[in-house]
Structure 1
Amino acid sequence: MAARIPLTGLDRERGSDLDGEEAATGPSHFIGRLQFLYPASQGLPQTFHLMAPGSGSKLGGQEENPLCTQAPLLHCHLHAVGGLKGLNSLYLNFTLSQYNEIYIFGKKFLNFQLSLSGSLGIACAENANGTHEWIINNFFRFMAQFNYSDFTELNKNFSGFEVLDLLSPQQLSGLTVNSDALNNTDKISQILNTFTSRSFSDLVAYFTQFIHDTQSVGITAIQNTTVRDTILSIIIKLLEPQFPTFNTSDYIDWFQTRLHLLLPSITGNELNTIPTNITCKSYQAIVKGLDKLYPDLSTTQQEDIYNFIVKYLTRQLDSTASACTARTIGSTVWLLNNFGRFRSFITYRNLTALNKNFIGLDAVKFLTVSQLGELAGNNGTLRNADDVRKIFRDITSATVTEFINTFSTAVNQVGDYFNQF
């Protein structure tokens, strides 16, 4: 059975016109038209018979591909009215290997035409006026098989921003990385706003390619913070309708991998779009992804994330009587899984309010000086010399004053509590 692939940007633009053309044509019809248009192309009709759907042809690489041997014999007019256009009418019926062979043929033909264009630097410029006509007339529905770099190599004046609606998600990623879009809020907004009218799978495909493309060119951070802020804001709005359908693996995928370059721009606005009824595992996946970026976040951002954490855990406690403590082994694991490094913002008293079984002495390595002071000041915490040594092990001359202050406050609060009775 022939492989089926998603509709291209050209399908979206032309709609049912192409379907009508496809229904009215077939391999024999196309080859007859090709013979009429270009009778001097000896052997070319047989070549396309080999490529016809259902032919069973197993063409090899470029050197064995009969299409490639015929490419230099064609001219741009034939390419526009025959060539790929003839194959275009059968687009949805080819196998994946045939798509690849057609790509090789098209690329070789257009490279040959580019070599004839001289200083013009545009393959088959006579086929079009501007980028929009050029890409349609030279690539047809097969444009999805080409890389964005193919377009810019074959047409030095190619402007991806003129054909955003025609480009595939992968090609849009190429445009993002290989233009000045990562330094221009208007241009990046134009690219990303195309996904408001596309399927969610297109957004996934875009980010898959974006991760690959940024790694390929050595982009490890988006330096323009305004652009980064803009990207994250748009993407979160696109993700918001999907969040309720996400499972844990989806949250891991997005917050630990796909959004990695963008999360340094996270604010309370984006965090507020995340549903509060997600599972503890999904919530912990988000916290883990944000924790990786802790040093790159401002204090305000860290506080925003802490507020998100407390809001979620409080809701869990109120609705399930458990702040994600189920199936958690020990206080340290619970603290790290649910707070990460954002634990530094919470008071020890609030920790024990969220988890009544929290044992501070089991997690002293991960508590702040202030939290240790509160812990030591709680009545009955220090039962022996070993407990004292555990707490004072990490107290230094630089932090002892802070410790004493919080210890004194905690002791006074305990005293005030008992004085009520």
Structure 2
Amino acid sequence: MLQSNTTSGISTSEERTVTSQSNGFQDTCNSKNLRDASHMISAAVDTLAGELSCKKGNNASLTEDKSNELEQNLRQIVQFTLKVFNGLRTNESGFSVLDIFGVLYSLRLGNHSDPRFVRLWFSLKMAPLLPYADENFLIELSNQNFSCTSFQELVEGMSEELTTSDKIKEKLIYRNFIQVYLSRQNSPEPGCTNNVNGSAVWLQKNFGDFSKIATLEELQQLNDDFSAAEVLSELSSSQLAQYVQSSGASNDTDLIDRVFEELEDGNALENVDEFLTELTANGEVHDFQPAVRDHVMNRTFLIISPHLPHFNKDDYYAWFHVKLVSILASFTPVMLEKATSNVNCTNYHVIVSGIAKVFPAMPLHRKQGLTDVLLGYLTNSASVINEPVCRQGIESDAEWVEANLGPFSQFTTYSELKVFNLSGVAVVDVLSPQQKAEFVLDADSGALLDVEVVKAVFTSLTESGGEEQLNDFFQGFTNIIKQKNITIVANPAAQDTILNLTLTALAPAFEDFEPEDFQLWFQVYLAPVMASLRPDSLRVIPRNISCASYREILSGLQQSLKFLPLAVSHGVRSSITSLKETFTGCSGPDSFACKKTTVDENLICAAVDSSKLQQTLSSDNSSTALCNFTITEHACSSATSLTHSNLVTLMKCSLESQRVYPVEVWKLFFQKASPALDQALETLATMAPQNSNLALSSALEALGEVKIANLSREQLQSENLIQISQPILAAQHLLFTNL
């Protein structure tokens, strides 16, 4: 309750008046009154602005300074009213601040084509309320009948009002006001391209600070005469990237230099970041010509290299997996060495996986150079590279190779890889064919002693690339064998596995082989494992190959007999017979040219111990003793001590046993027994052993070569040639009488 107090300075009637007024204020406390009051103040400003405009234009009765002062006062009225409105308003929705302050309504009070009116309108009504401009308002604004000069006044005003940090509002204004207005075909001057001197002026007048939001394509659509080359200094880094993509810069290093001069102006790292991000937008990779790509990479690396020591894992990923991807194929060994000089293994792995993505686009010499740098890093980091901290997420040696070398591992040697204590078997699938060849032939790996390891290698070869992978493997395999002076693979089981798996893998391709392909495989690549060849092995050879191809295969088999020890050559010999029987149409009659079988005593006698024979015959040269030893054992001993009767006995029991010896063995035997050979043959011809011609054929072939080789030119031309050849003819009679 209020009490009367004469000393208060307010009478009872005055109290009632104040109370009444107070209740009246409370009655007006609602949002509608607030909106109406704000609207009336804004309308009053419109009226005052009209008066100001009139005084400014009426014989310039106001000075410029006074006019500007009054304009600022009116603007402050709007700003303070807006501030009070926002301070008193509730969270009520359903109305527009721009409508309350009559922004578009006040625009109708003047001439849209008058840039002075539009500038004043913007200063008083639009600028304070610009933060409230939304998409719908801006589109409606763009459809007003502004002249180009009035429009340009608005663009200039908006450029001055917006802070550079308000990127969202910038894009909103550009997309819904500037771009829409300039695109209108019903405006007095579509694109506002008249009365502008060049692209730079057009860009500044019509876009202001918003020019960097537009794409080059949009600018060119709005102005057919727009030239980006004229305004490079005005373009954003993204627009410079778009210019490079659209201007044919893929072949122009001079243009790239001009672009990078602009990128280096200001914050070069941020600029090149934005530039490269645009180049890889939407996952697309710009296709530079190699020389230009090298140029871009060089200029880029000069900018980013000082910042590399401050990069974290995310930075390395962003640059090496995204931003640099369009030029990373030009990353040089020098750059890689600098980039990895002091990085930890985690960041190193990110770099490796990044450059691995562009591996196919790199020239061969760069791949090798980068590989050397990677190996250098791993060697220098050998003490920690296999520690748990560097093997996080790496479960196997194969994954270790992938993480630390990626596809560059194929440019290392197996010897370089095994330094890192990797298991050859574990990394088989990531080894190149050349490395697999090294692994198989590496003495420390013991691969050729373990058939399962050999199977794993060849399974990997056949599953990953078929004939091409096999070809690369055997190319390396034969080269290493030559370097190590190895003739044949020593382990028979490994021989069998290599030969059989290779022939099986090649079988589908044999149909398309040319003679030179058969020559390469059967005379070069398979030579070290030819000892495992059997007639069944040749079943994979198509029956319709040409005779030229047949001869290349046959030649390969025959050549192998020149280096295969006799003891392991039986499979090849029987395969030769089988091959001839299969391709009878290509064999043809034997040539009338004299055959000459090469005799290598070391190969024939490699597995023969003649000491027992020597010891026995020194005390007993009876028929039984002679026939207890094979022709091979006699050929590998000093057979010159045999008499003609010993020779007859030995040949008779050997032929009757029907055991077949290679031509080379008979020839060596006949060469050593040549002093007693003629008389022994004459004696043998009078006998008629019941043996097969198969046992005699090799002996006769060898005999013919030995005897004819011993005839002089005079004897061959003598009338007594038949008499001289009597021992040979007698031996042949022995064969034909038993057919």
For Structure 1 versus Structure 2, the TM-score category normalised by the shorter chain is 0.7 to 0.9
Deviation for aligned residue 1:303: 0.5
Matched, 1:136 2:204: yes
Q: Distance in 1 between matches of 2:123 and 2:215?
A: 24
Residue of 230, 237, 240 corresponding to 1:169 = 237
Amino acid aligned to 1:59:
D
Q: Distance in 1 between matches of 2:203 and 2:459?
A: 69
Q: Distance in 1 between matches of 2:74 and 2:446?
A: 85
Residue of 338, 344, 369 corresponding to 1:304 = 369
Amino acid aligned to 1:28:
R
Amino acid aligned to 1:348:
Y
Summarize deviations over 1:196-223 as a string: whole Å, max 9, x none.
12322232222222222784xxxx5525
Q: Distance in 2 between matches of 1:378 and 1:27?
A: 95
Q: Distance in 1 between matches of 2:249 and 2:260?
A: 10
Whose radius of gyration is greater, 1 or 2?
2
Residue of 115, 123, 146 corresponding to 2:192 = 123
Matches within 5 A, 1:353-368: 353=419, 355-356=420-421, 358-368=422-432
Q: Distance in 1 between matches of 2:74 and 2:233?
A: 29
Deviation for aligned residue 1:41: 3.0
Q: Distance in 1 between matches of 2:73 and 2:226?
A: 32
Q: Distance in 2 between matches of 1:298 and 1:47?
A: 60
| Structure-2 residue corresponding to 1:336 | 402
Q: Given the superposition, is the C-alpha separation of residues 60 and 168 from structure 1 closer, same or farther in structure 2, using an over 3 Å criterion?
A: same
Matches within 5 A, 1:311-390: 311-317=376-382, 320=384, 322=386, 326-327=391-392, 328-353=394-419, 355-356=420-421, 358-376=422-440, 377-379=442-444, 381-382=446-447, 384-390=450-456
Deviation for aligned residue 1:158: 1.9
Summarize deviations over 1:174-205 as a string: whole Å, max 9, x none.
22222232332212221122111232223222
Report if the CA contact (8 A) 2:241-2:275 is conserved.
yes
Q: Distance in 2 between matches of 1:93 and 1:237?
A: 28
Summarize deviations over 1:5-54 as a string: whole Å, max 9, x none.
xxxxxxxxxxxxxxxxxxx989938x9xxx99x94239967677664355
Residue of 118, 127, 133 corresponding to 1:52 = 127
Residue of 53, 62, 75 corresponding to 1:28 = 75
Unaligned runs of 5+ in 1: 1-23, 413-421
Amino acid aligned to 1:403:
F
Q: Distance in 2 between matches of 1:26 and 1:229?
A: 60
| Structure-2 residue corresponding to 1:17 | none
> Pairwise CA RMSD of aligned residues?
3.7
Deviation for aligned residue 1:239: 1.6
Q: Given the superposition, is the C-alpha separation of residues 93 and 52 from structure 1 closer, same or farther in structure 2, using an over 3 Å criterion?
A: farther
Deviation for aligned residue 1:333: 0.8
Amino acid aligned to 2:344:
T
Amino acid aligned to 2:348:
Y
| Structure-2 residue corresponding to 1:99 | 170
Identity of aligned residues (%): 22
Deviation for aligned residue 1:309: 0.8
Summarize deviations over 1:337-371 as a string: whole Å, max 9, x none.
11122112212222122x13x11111112223443
Q: Distance in 1 between matches of 2:265 and 2:255?
A: 17
Deviation for aligned residue 1:326: 3.5
Matched, 1:259 2:324: yes
Matches within 5 A, 1:156-305: 156-199=224-267, 200-212=269-281, 215=284, 222-305=287-370
Matched, 1:149 2:217: yes
Q: Given the superposition, is the C-alpha separation of residues 352 and 257 from structure 1 closer, same or farther in structure 2, using an over 3 Å criterion?
A: same
Residue of 125, 134, 149 corresponding to 1:77 = 149
Helix, strand or coil at the partner of 1:146: coil
Summarize deviations over 1:287-337 as a string: whole Å, max 9, x none.
22222333322211110121121122122126x475885443221111111
Quick one: higher RCO (CA 8 Å, sep 6+), 1 or 2?
A: 1
Matched length: 369
Amino acid aligned to 2:183:
N
Q: Distance in 1 between matches of 2:213 and 2:286?
A: 29
Amino acid aligned to 2:270:
S
